[in-house]
């Protein structure tokens, strides 16, 4: 009988794992732990491993998985930038991902966060809690009066563009791999610098690559319009956080919504109530009224969770039965 083991299995995923297991007659065991140098020993005897973690995987993970008899490694998310794909290939382990679990979930969330920044809702929530009901000087902005620069025009970026256009905003976009339909619509600019110079809002929906590490930094921020808003629901490594903080304090950046953070693994999806945060940069972010920090939850809707589980399991099953899957990375 085919057997899979799912790491980082959450309570909200359980009903979907169980429904798929019952329908397909494949054993699926769930563990709460992430894959580390100890928990990886639990993979002995399994055909496939399902994972969901944005941080660092254990050293020589694919060597160990191969020795344990694992045939397929199925990520329940899009990004594979934290996986050693060459090591997977060397060890004969197929890797799959979930390229589109719900583009609209992330796109909608990014717009929601921007709208809060534009209308100063964080500041007004604090003021109301203090029984200060005055308005000034926190006047808002209307989205339809702004130019939104979308970096990355894949499924998520395209969904975001549609929403922004619905609000009546002017949209410009940049992507190293332009979408032919958007080319016809005339939305693309020719470079990052051109987008930085024109955009009132910069929203990122792109993968992380070595070339784009710290795309947002002191030098690039200086090329942006004063009072720009920055939205990141993509990857934390795209932003040099200390540079962003300085730009916010200096007024060059009017606000930022960050659903991802470069050093998020020790923080996000952990209960740290009552504990002092060791990451001083992150603590500094949290103190800023015009910064919205959320713990990598842009994807987190019922639709997305179901799709992430079902597509990852379908992919793993397909690899084990047929040697390939539509979602194959390598």
* Residue positions annotated with a catalytic role: 235, 264, 296
Tokens of 290: 């015009």
Q: How confident is the model at residue 16 (pLDDT cuts 50, 70, 90)?
A: very high
Cα 245-239-51 angle, rounded to 5 deg: 125
Q: Give the pLDDT score at 162.
A: 98
All structural domains of the chain with their residue ranges = 3-101+301-322, 103-293
| Distance, CA of 170 to CA of 172 (rounded, Å) | 7
- pLDDT computed for residue 207 by the predictor: 87
Q: How confident is the model at residue 55 (pLDDT cuts 50, 70, 90)?
A: confident
Report pLDDT for 134. 97
Percentage of residues in the chain with pLDDT exceeding 70?
Answer: 100
What is the rounded average pLDDT for all residues in the chain?
96
Asked if 313 contacts 97 with a C-beta cutoff of 8 angstroms, the reply is no
The 10s digit of each residue's pLDDT in 289-307 is: 999 999 999 999 999 999 9
In this chain, the answer to whether the domains covering 3-101+301-322 and 103-293 adopt an identical fold is yes
Tell me the per-residue pLDDT of 243-254, one tens digit each, with 9 for 90 and over. 999 999 999 999
Specify whether the CB–CB gap between 236 and 261 falls below 8 A.
yes
Residues 250-275, mean pLDDT to the nearest whole number: 96
* Residue pLDDT, tens place only, 124-164: 999 999 999 999 999 999 999 999 999 999 999 999 999 99
* CATH code of the domain occupying 3-101+301-322: 3.40.50.720
* pLDDT recorded at residue 20: 98
Q: What is the DSSP-derived secondary structure letter of residue 238?
A: G
Residue 302 to residue 102: CA distance in whole angstroms: 10
Least confident of 53-57, 156-160, 278-282: 53-57
4 pLDDT band, cuts 50/70/90, is: very high
- d(CA 185, CA 178) in angstroms, rounded, equals 12
Query: Which pTM does this prediction carry?
Result: 0.89
Distance CA 255, CA 210 (A): 26
Q: Which residues contact 199 (CB under 8 A, 6 or more apart)?
A: 147, 148, 149, 172, 224, 225, 228
| Those residues with Cβ within 8 angstroms of residue 224's Cβ, 6 or more apart along the chain or in another chain | 196, 197, 199, 202, 252, 253
CATH node for 103-293: 3.40.50.720
Does the pLDDT of residue 190 top 90, yes or no? yes
pLDDT the model gives residue 302? 96
CA 259 to chain centre: 7
Cα–Cα distance, 128 to 35 (Å, whole number): 44
> What is the CB-side half-sphere exposure of residue 78 using CA atoms within 13 A?
18
């Amino acid at each position: 009988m085919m057997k899979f083991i799912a790491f980082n299995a959450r309570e909200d995923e359980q009903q979907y794992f169980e429904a798929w297991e019952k329908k397909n007659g494949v054993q699926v065991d769930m563990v709460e732990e992430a894959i580390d140098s100890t928990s990886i020993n639990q993979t002995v005897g399994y055909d496939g491993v399902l994972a969901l973690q944005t941080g660092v995987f254990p050293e020589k993970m694919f060597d160990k998985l191969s020795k344990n008899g694992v045939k397929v490694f199925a990520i329940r998310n899009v990004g594979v930038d934290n996986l050693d794909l060459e090591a997977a290939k060397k060890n004969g382990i197929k890797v799959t991902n979930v390229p589109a679990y719900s583009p609209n979930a992330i796109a909608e969330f990014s717009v929601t966060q921007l709208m809060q920044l534009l209308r100063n809702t964080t500041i007004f929530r604090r003021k109301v809690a203090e029984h200060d009901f005055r308005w000034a000087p926190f006047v808002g902005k209307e989205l339809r009066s702004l130019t939104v620069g979308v970096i990355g025009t894949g499924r998520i970026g395209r969904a975001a563009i549609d929403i922004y256009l619905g609000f009546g905003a002017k949209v410009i976009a940049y992507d190293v791999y332009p979408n032919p339909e958007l080319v016809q619509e005339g939305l693309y600019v020719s470079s990052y610098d051109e987008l930085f110079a024109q955009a009132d809002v910069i929203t990122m929906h792109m993968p992380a690559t070595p070339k784009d590490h710290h795309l947002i930094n002191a030098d690039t921020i200086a090329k942006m319009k004063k009072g720009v808003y920055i939205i990141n629901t993509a990857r934390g490594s795209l932003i040099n956080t200390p540079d962003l903080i300085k730009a916010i304090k200096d007024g060059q950046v009017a606000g930022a919504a960050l659903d991802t953070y470069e050093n998020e693994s020790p923080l996000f999806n952990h209960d740290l109530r009552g504990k002092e945060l060791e990451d001083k940069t992150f603590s500094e972010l949290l103190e800023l009224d015009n910064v919205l920090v959320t713990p990598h939850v842009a994807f987190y809707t019922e639709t997305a969770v179901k799709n992430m589980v079902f597509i990852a399991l379908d992919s793993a099953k397909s690899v084990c039965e047929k040697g390939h899957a539509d979602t194959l990375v390598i």
